[in-house]
Structure 1
Amino acid sequence: MLKSLKGHSPEIGKDCYIDDMCKISGQVEIHNGVSVWPFVSIRGDMNKIKIGENTNIQDNTTVHVDNNSPTIIGANITIGHNAVIHGCQIGDNSLIGMGAILLNDVKIGKGCLIGAGALLTPGTEIPDNSLVLGAPAKVIKKLSEKDKEAIIKNSKEYLRLAQIHLNNE
């Protein structure tokens, strides 16, 4: 469901899969090839939300903002089931694990893997190519090329799944 708020309507790019059971409202910009799965809430009611191309946002995820903190999600991102993405920035080619919580003003670099259940407290900054685990979250190591390839492979798999759903195959 798409909903306008305060004169802002969600903008949806080409070749996007937006599940009928999600809600996208307000100042939201979704680029080409994005998939948004069942029961996702993307609420741009207080600030803007931008979602880069070929990103997938999986079931039951919440994407929200704060008055002073927009949410900027890069390209080729995988956001796992039940994540909370709140007023933060995520660099391209990253994977956010299931149940991870990213709070206001968190900045995730490019090519990062944020583990399932990780809690990133307000203002946390994560350098490029980092593996991050725990609550509170800590950088564990720098990702290998093989790790980064696996992140891209996961993102591409969701592009394939989205096409299946778009085409009712």
Structure 2
Amino acid sequence: MLYSYMDRRPRLGKDVFIADGAKIIGDVHIDEGASIWYNSVIRGDIASIYIGKRTNIQDLSVIHVNTNVPVIIENDVSIGHSVTLHGCTIKKGSMVGMGSTILNGAIIEEGSMVAAGSLITENKQFPPHVLIMGSPAKVVRELTPDEVNDLKTTARHYTQRAEEHRKNIPFSPTNV
């Protein structure tokens, strides 16, 4: 379901899939081919949220902002089930594992993987192509080229799955 908030309204690119139960509120731009899965909440009420091309936000995830602190999720990113993103930036080709939390000002650089259940504290920045793990999270090691490629494969897989769902499950944006 799409909701306007004050003078802010969601904008959807071509071939976006939004699953039943997902709530998208306010200043949210979802780019071409992205997918928002079941019961996720994306709330751009006090700052903007950008979700890049072919990015997937999996079931039960929550994305929110802080005053003047947007969320930017670049192209080909996978956000796992039950992830919380708050005022952070996730660079292209990365993956955030299930149940992770990433807080205000944090930056996950290109092609990195945040392990399931990790906590990224405020204003932390991590280099590209690394495995990030723990609570609080730290770099565990560099990813191999095969692992970086696997992150891209996951994003492609979700793009294909979203296309199947989009064709077979009706969606009608309302309340915009």
TM-score between both structures, scaled by the size of structure 2? 0.94
Task: Give matches, 1:1-169, under 5 Å.
Answer: 1-168=1-168
d(CA) in 1 for partners of 2:102 and 2:127? 15
Q: Distance in 1 between matches of 2:8 and 2:123?
A: 28
Q: In the alignment, residue 149 of structure 1 is paired with which amino acid?
A: N
Structure 2 distance, partners of 1:57, 1:84, is: 10
Using the TM superposition, give the Cα deviation of residue 167 of structure 1 relative to its aligned residue in structure 2, in angstroms: 1.1
- Count matched residues: 169
**Structure 1 residue 68: Cα displacement:** 2.7
Aligned mates of 1:65, 1:89 — CA distance in 2: 11
Matched AA of 1:168: N
Cα distance in 1 for partners of 2:39, 2:144 equals: 33
SS in 2 for 1:150: helix
What per-residue deviation string (whole Å, max 9, x for no partner) do you get for residues 60-83 of structure 1? 000000003110001000000000
Aligned-pair CA distance for 1:20: 2.3
Q: Report SS of the residue matched to 2:128.
A: coil
Does the residue aligned with 2:20 lie in a helix, a strand or coil? coil
Q: Could you tell me how far apart the structure 2 residues matched to 1:39 and 1:92 are? A: 24
Aligned partners of 1:108 and 1:77: how far apart in 2?
Answer: 11
SS of the aligned residue for 1:167 comes to helix
Alpha-carbon separation, structure 1, partners of 2:68 and 2:104 = 9
Unaligned runs of at least 5 residues, structure 2: 170-176
Taking structure 1 as the reference length, what is the TM-score of the superposition? 0.98
Deviation, 1:84, is 0.2
What amino acid is aligned across from residue 26 of structure 2 in structure 1? G
Question: Take 1:73 and 1:102, find their aligned partners in 2: how far apart are those partners?
Answer: 12
> Match of 1:165, SS?
helix
In the alignment, the residues of structure 2 paired with residue 167 and residue 107 of structure 1 have an alpha-carbon distance, to the nearest angstrom, of 34
Supply the RMSD in Å over aligned alpha carbons: 0.8
Deviation at 1:91, TM superposition (A): 0.4
Distance 1:167 1:52 in 2: 21
- How many angstroms does 1:152 deviate by? 0.6
Q: Could you list the structure 1 runs, at least 4 aligned residues long, displaced by more than 2 angstroms after superposition.
A: none
In the alignment, the residues of structure 2 paired with residue 6 and residue 86 of structure 1 have an alpha-carbon distance, to the nearest angstrom, of 21
Give ranges in structure 1 of 5+ residues lacking alignment.
none
Summarize deviations over 1:104-136 as a string: whole Å, max 9, x none.
Answer: 000110000000000000001011111000000
